[in-house]
Amino acid sequence: MKNARPLFCATLITLSVVADSKPSILLNCGAPAPDSDLDGRIWTPDSGSEFSLPSSSESVAAPQQVSSVAKVPYLTARIFTSTSTYSFPLAVGRVFLRLYFYPVNYANYTATDSFFSITAVPYTLLHNFSASLVADAVGSPYITREFSLNVSAGVLNLTFTPSSTPNSFAFINGIEIVPIPDIFVSNNPILITDAYGKSISYEIDPEWAIQTVYRLNVGGRAITPRDDELFRSWEDDSRYIFGAAFGVTYSNDPNVSISYPPQVPTYIAPTEVYATARSMGPDAGVNLQYNLTWILQVDAGFYYFVRFHFCEIQYPITKTNQRVFDIFINNQTVQKYADVIAWSGNIGVPAYRDYAVITMGSGQMDMWVALHPDVAAEPEYYDAILNGLEVFKLQDIGSNSLAGLNPESVSHPIVGSPNEDVSRKNHKPVPAIVGGVAVLLVAFCLILLCKCRRKKKVVACHETSSCCASPIPSNLCRHFSITTIKAATKDFDESLLLGIGGFGKVYLGEINAMGMKVAIKRSNPTSDQGVHEFHSEIETLSKLRHIHLVSLIGYCQGNSEMILVYDYMARGTLRDHLYNSQKPPLSWKQRLEICIGAARGLHYLHTGAKHTVIHRDVKTTNILLDENWVAKVSDFGLSKTLPTLDDTHVSTMVKGSFGYLDPEYAWRHQLTEKSDVYSFGVVLFEVLCARPALVHMLPDEQVNLADWAVHCQKNGNLVYIIDPYLKGRMAPESFEKFAETAEKCVADVGADRPSMGDVLQNLEFALRLQEHTDDDGEITDGIIENAILTSMVESSTTTTITKMIRGRSFASEVLPYKRSLALSSHRSLIRAYSCS
């Protein structure tokens, strides 16, 4: 302890000496006189400075209409119509170079005409760069670019070159140069996985040019340059969190202060980064179910250097193996057994870890950064933590370039509604293999499209989803204040959590004024898709009222909150009553009644309202049950309204849930109500077999429930895969009617599927058949009694099983690799007999 203090002071002195000897350069381009920014730093004008300003330039002022833009350095600019260079004499070593752009029309220069390159020989920093397109894509009026360069020649020449497009020009609002220590020193060996899946060690060349792409204060507020000794900005990370799984954020325990160990110099990151964190949450069960994931859009085709900042800041985590997790980047494991205390030694002590990743392709892609508890380590808490995250782009070694492509223009979407265009852009897969498959798929879809164009008119991309531009129909449902919502949920108390869905967290709430229990769905305020689905759900639900549709009571929007308030469904989702839960199994009659209710709700959607509404996400988790077991269809976030009654389908981006997705829709992108019928057929099989629509662990042919059930049904084997609880409890006729209906629903071709109305009639008939038997008081021993195994012939290559079910004979040939399965169902048959 005695030694620590003088050491700390010595570091401080050295640093201030460094800062004094290499002052920052702050250039307010085009400005007439020195001025100070919001942090009180003085920016000097570029004209009349020592940095040899080129003559072929013009200083201009921005039109003064925007109050959200800081005056310094944004409201003046320098414009270049031909190649021009600033020359900065600098000491040898690394600097941060920050470039500030405010793309508006300056005098007679139109922002959208501007395309230009910036080089710092030998590095290309930006190429054919459109500040206007980038600003549009990120939704900000101004943008900055931060580079880190190692100046070796004692001078940094920054050259602006307008592209050769008509009326093009280059411009810059501000230039900042900050000498920095070598921050790219790693505390851990860096591995990178090469194209052959082999991990090789990786080092950053001290001469490389590096661009900062993201710098996030995870779980904390944005940090401005004033609070960072290298004048860095740190962004709040919440807008990059994937889905609704935000985890929880917190700051340091008052008794814990941040103390930097020798291997983590204070300039690595400010105290405030380490003093706040995001973790997965208090519930180990929930944490095991999800990945805490950030999605960061990056330029494809570059190497990235990703730095994670960690610090344990809350008791009781003070020892190793208490919180251990895995780190994934782009779905690859980059770190197992991540244990912050093992790295840092103690609570309150920062640590950082660096990883490198390769990306392929070109254009924009999403970088996935994810954390998940490491189960293998058997830690005390199944949880993960992160305090800060930085993503750096490394120069291309061949071309010395850091330049990526401009984002696609957002104002001119090519396909689909503006909202779908955004979601499509954000999730564009880039790897070459995916590209190859996509090309094939597109070719195939084109052939199909051409074929069907001849037959009937294809409605291309008419979508009535202008909802994001139009205000919410306030006359249709009630608006709640955030205060009311917070009171109703005890400020979103986790103990009131009913579930976490793709769109948000759902809480149980009580609205006092109405004296009723409600379900409150709080959505991820930052995802574009979230905004679209939010409005879509309000629009759809507020126009539809039906006993078998969940009622929307109201909504709350503002302060970046999107909250929907529904009738509370006391018995939860249908799936909760089918499998993977402690709930008692439903009787066959109850299951039939629930399916009939849901079918009525869907039938109403398809035919009852003014326009046909296609739900697009029919599944057992979207069928809810109230206290009287009345089924209600919910979650209209993906629903689509057909434009007019004459249109039979719309072409759209494929959305929905795997396992329930209509194959025809998936291939042809044409949405009709028969897509819902397909999904509903999967629901029927799920109800019958009490297993999920997809189970990846099963043998290939059994993974997809619809395929497997149809296969079994065709061979007369369906009875062997039904919910064992139902065996002997179903009227055989009822079972047969139900199975036949489900099979028709999942027909490959939409035209072969029944309408929702037909499905409803058949299910009602199946219910009558069951009730008839129940009323007769006849003990229904069920279908198993009726299956008689007549023969089982084994040859060297196949096994043929013949059996009689209700007088019909089914012979099925079973290939050897499926034989064990056939034998096991044979065994269960024998067991069924011997039990009765």
Ligand X SMILES: *[C@@H]1O[C@H](CO)[C@@H](O)[C@H](O)[C@H]1NC(C)=O
Catalytic residues: 617
Cα 236 to Cα 67, 273, 275, 292: the distances in Å are: 22, 10, 14, 16
> 5 to 44, contacts with ligand X by CB under 6 A?
none
Do residues 479 and 555 lie in contact, with contact meaning Cβ atoms separated by under 8 Å? yes
Do residues 375 and 337 lie in contact, with contact meaning Cβ atoms separated by under 8 Å? no
616, 617, 620, 625 alpha-carbon torsion, rounded to 10°: -80
318 binding ligand X? (CB under 6 A): no
119 binding ligand X? (CB under 6 A): no
Cα 399 to Cα 302, 305, 707: the distances in Å are: 12, 18, 51
User: Where in 271-382 does DSSP place strands (E)?
Assistant: 276-279, 292-299, 303-310, 325-329, 332-338, 351-358, 364-373
376 binding ligand X? (CB under 6 A): no
Cβ closest to ligand X, residue 370 vs residue 747: 370
Verify cis geometry, omega within 30 degrees of 0, for the bond prior to 122.
Answer: yes
> 231 to 260, contacts with ligand X by CB under 6 A?
253-255
C-beta of 358: minimal distance to ligand X in Å?
Answer: 11
61 binding ligand X? (CB under 6 A): no
291 binding ligand X? (CB under 6 A): yes
Q: If 0-12 CB within 10 Å is exposed, 13-18 middle and 19+ buried, where does residue 273 land?
A: buried
Q: Quick one: which segment of 15-23, 145-153, 211-219, 470-478 binds ligand X (CB under 6 A)?
A: 145-153
The binder of ligand X chosen from 121, 376, 415, 441 (CB under 6 A):
121
Verify cis geometry, omega within 30 degrees of 0, for the bond prior to 206.
Answer: no
Q: Quick one: which segment of 367-375, 440-448, 480-488, 767-775 binds ligand X (CB under 6 A)?
A: 367-375
Cβ closest to ligand X, residue 64 vs residue 108: 108
In terms of DSSP bridges, do strands 116-120 and 155-162 run parallel, antiparallel, or are they unpaired?
A: antiparallel
87 binding ligand X? (CB under 6 A): yes
> 687 to 746, contacts with ligand X by CB under 6 A?
none
What 3-state class would DSSP assign to 722? coil
Among residues 287, 288, 306, which one has the least CA distance to residue 296?
306
Cβ closest to ligand X, residue 91 vs residue 155: 155
Beta bridge partners, 148, equal 96, 210
C-beta of 582: minimal distance to ligand X in Å?
Answer: 22
Rounded to whole angstroms, the Cα distance separating 142 from 131 reads 8
The binder of ligand X chosen from 11, 66, 83, 368 (CB under 6 A):
368
Please work out, in degrees rounded to the nearest 5, the angle formed at the alpha carbon of residue 592 by the alpha carbons of 721 and 590: 100
- Helix H, strand E, coil C: the string for 514-547 is HCEEEEEEEECCCCHHHHHHHHHHHHHHHHCCCC
Rounded to whole angstroms, the Cα distance separating 797 from 692 reads 32
Q: Round the CA-based radius of gyration of the chain to a whole number and report it.
A: 32
Rounded to whole angstroms, the Cα distance separating 213 from 305 reads 10
Q: Tokens 């129909």 label which residue?
A: 473
C-beta of 494: minimal distance to ligand X in Å?
Answer: 19
Do residues 591 and 745 lie in contact, with contact meaning Cβ atoms separated by under 8 Å? no
C-beta of 306: minimal distance to ligand X in Å?
Answer: 13
C-beta of 697: minimal distance to ligand X in Å?
Answer: 13
Per-position x/- string for 194-233, each x denoting binding to ligand X as judged by CB under 6 A, each - no binding:
------------xx--------------------------
Cβ closest to ligand X, residue 165 vs residue 836: 165
- What sign results for the dihedral spanned by CA atoms 750, 753, 759, 763? negative
155 binding ligand X? (CB under 6 A): yes
C-beta of 558: minimal distance to ligand X in Å?
Answer: 31
> 391 to 430, contacts with ligand X by CB under 6 A?
406, 429
Rounded to whole angstroms, the Cα distance separating 654 from 663 reads 10
Cβ closest to ligand X, residue 182 vs residue 752: 182
Cβ closest to ligand X, residue 99 vs residue 367: 367
C-beta of 154: minimal distance to ligand X in Å?
Answer: 8
Q: Quick one: which segment of 86-94, 268-276, 394-402, 809-817 binds ligand X (CB under 6 A)?
A: 86-94
Annotated binding-site residues for ATP read 521
Rounded to whole angstroms, the Cα distance separating 59 from 567 reads 61
Q: Quick one: which segment of 289-297, 566-574, 683-691, 705-713 binds ligand X (CB under 6 A)?
A: 289-297
Q: Quick one: which segment of 20-28, 323-331, 501-509, 724-732 binds ligand X (CB under 6 A)?
A: 323-331
The binder of ligand X chosen from 328, 492, 579, 810 (CB under 6 A):
328
C-beta of 690: minimal distance to ligand X in Å?
Answer: 23
The binder of ligand X chosen from 57, 330, 540, 634 (CB under 6 A):
330
335 binding ligand X? (CB under 6 A): no
93 binding ligand X? (CB under 6 A): yes
Cβ closest to ligand X, residue 338 vs residue 783: 338
Cα 818 to Cα 718, 800, 801: the distances in Å are: 15, 11, 12
Cβ closest to ligand X, residue 407 vs residue 681: 407
Q: Tokens 């034989």 label which residue?
A: 819
Do residues 754 and 733 lie in contact, with contact meaning Cβ atoms separated by under 8 Å? no
Q: Quick one: which segment of 325-333, 336-344, 590-598, 789-797 binds ligand X (CB under 6 A)?
A: 325-333
Q: Quick one: which segment of 7-15, 85-93, 485-493, 671-679 binds ligand X (CB under 6 A)?
A: 85-93
150 binding ligand X? (CB under 6 A): yes
C-beta of 107: minimal distance to ligand X in Å?
Answer: 6
> 429 to 448, contacts with ligand X by CB under 6 A?
429
C-beta of 408: minimal distance to ligand X in Å?
Answer: 8
Cβ closest to ligand X, residue 259 vs residue 828: 259
The binder of ligand X chosen from 65, 67, 108, 475 (CB under 6 A):
108
Rounded to whole angstroms, the Cα distance separating 577 from 690 reads 9
The binder of ligand X chosen from 66, 284, 290, 363 (CB under 6 A):
290
Structure tokens at 385: 């933590």
Rounded to whole angstroms, the Cα distance separating 146 from 151 reads 15
The binder of ligand X chosen from 94, 505, 632, 674 (CB under 6 A):
94
Cβ closest to ligand X, residue 373 vs residue 597: 373
114 binding ligand X? (CB under 6 A): no
CB within 8 A of 618, min separation 6: which ones?
A: 602, 633, 660, 676, 679, 680, 683
47 binding ligand X? (CB under 6 A): no
167 binding ligand X? (CB under 6 A): yes
Count of residues that bind ligand X according to CB under 6 A: 34
370 binding ligand X? (CB under 6 A): yes
Among residues 737, 723, 622, which one has the least CA distance to residue 676?
622
186 binding ligand X? (CB under 6 A): no
In the 8-state DSSP scheme, what is residue 696? T
Cα 415 to Cα 423, 529, 653, 800: the distances in Å are: 12, 16, 9, 52
128 binding ligand X? (CB under 6 A): yes
Instruction: Write out the H or E segment, with its range, that includes residue 507.
Output: strand 504-511
Structure tokens at 809: 């004979």
Q: How many CB atoms lie within 10 A of CB 257?
A: 11
Beta bridge partners, 309, equal 352, 388
331 binding ligand X? (CB under 6 A): yes
C-beta of 109: minimal distance to ligand X in Å?
Answer: 6
- In the complex, the residues that contact ligand X under the rule CB under 6 A are 85, 87, 93-94, 108-109, 115, 121, 128, 130, 150, 152-153, 155, 157, 163, 167, 182, 206-207, 253-255, 289-291, 328, 330-331, 368, 370, 372, 406, 429
